[in-house]
């Protein structure tokens, strides 16, 4: 019973994290105020190589999957691989529903609201997935490996990675704007905060979660 519940919980949280992340990607890009930092790169790849957003995201994700497996495989398992496979398809699926809304033509208030909602989706998706056993997303697995080696907090290393993604994305022609700057400044901080809140809730309710080496959650 306990084992079956644990497996179901992992499956539900993996699928939920994937859906939430896909919604965030599409809201950010379709609002036309600049993409999330990773998606500046993904959007740039999509435009530069003439492939779909989903295909570009899969290429990015599998590249980091290899890096994560090489340097921090303790956090890489079937949930992570499932996420890596599903995310591209999920982005293309969700975008079928969001694209017809023509968010880029909406009022500035609606567009900025979409950006804020998209940013929250990213933080929530990453925060949930960081607690799933063997399910950390590939970028975070690489970042936490560097956290352990450098003793620099996740939120700051994540910000450094976001700046790097931002610069490369611009080179490839990704859409940037107010949302991109917001993403550079707050993705690491918001994800770290949401992750710690989720860990605290799971601790209080006695729900199993993946502990990160060196993590300090009061």
Per-residue pLDDT for the chain (218 aa), expressed as one digit of tens each?
456 667 788 888 889 999 999 999 888 878 888 777 887 888 888 888 888 877 887 788 788 888 888 888 888 888 888 887 888 789 889 988 988 888 888 899 999 999 899 999 999 999 888 888 777 788 888 998 999 889 899 999 999 999 999 998 888 887 788 888 988 999 999 999 999 998 888 888 777 777 775 555 54
**Those residues with Cβ within 8 angstroms of residue 162's Cβ, 6 or more apart along the chain or in another chain:** 37, 38, 183, 184, 187, 188
76 beta partners: 135
Q: How many CB atoms lie within 10 A of CB 55?
A: 18
On whether the CB atoms of residues 180 and 34 are closer than 8 A, the answer is yes
Is-contact 132 20, C-beta < 8 A?
Answer: no
Nearest to 46, CA basis, from 36, 59, 37: 59
User: What is d(CA 122, CA 101) in angstroms, rounded to the nearest whole number?
Assistant: 21
Query: CA 99 → CA 28, 50, 78, distances in Å?
Result: 11, 18, 31
Q: For residue 85, how far is the Cα from the chain centroid?
A: 14
Q: What is the pTM of this model?
A: 0.82
User: Within a 10 A sphere around the Cβ of 9, how many other Cβ atoms?
Assistant: 15
């Amino acid at each position: 019973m306990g084992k079956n519940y644990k497996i179901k919980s992992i499956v539900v949280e993996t699928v939920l994290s994937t859906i939430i992340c896909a919604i965030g990607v599409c809201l950010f890009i379709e609002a036309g105020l600049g993409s999330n930092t990773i998606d500046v790169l993904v959007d740039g790849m999509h435009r530069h190589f003439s492939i779909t957003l989903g295909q570009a995201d899969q290429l990015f994700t599998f590249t980091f999957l290899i890096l994560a497996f090489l340097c921090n495989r303790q956090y890489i398992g079937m949930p992570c691989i499932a996420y890596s496979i599903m995310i591209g398809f999920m982005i293309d699926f969700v975008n079928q529903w969001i694209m017809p809304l023509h968010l880029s033509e909406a009022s500035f208030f609606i567009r900025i609201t979409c950006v804020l909602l998209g940013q929250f989706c990213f933080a929530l998706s990453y925060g949930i997935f960081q607690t799933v056993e063997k399910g950390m997303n590939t970028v975070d697995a690489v970042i936490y490996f560097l956290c352990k080696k450098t003793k620099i907090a996740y939120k700051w290393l994540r910000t450094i990675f976001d700046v790097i993604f931002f610069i490369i994305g611009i080179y490839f022609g990704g859409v940037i704007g107010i949302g991109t700057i917001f993403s550079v400044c707050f993705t690491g901080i918001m994800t770290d905060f949401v992750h710690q809140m989720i860990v605290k809730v799971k601790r209080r309710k006695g729900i199993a979660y993946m502990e990160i080496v060196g993590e300090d959650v009061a």
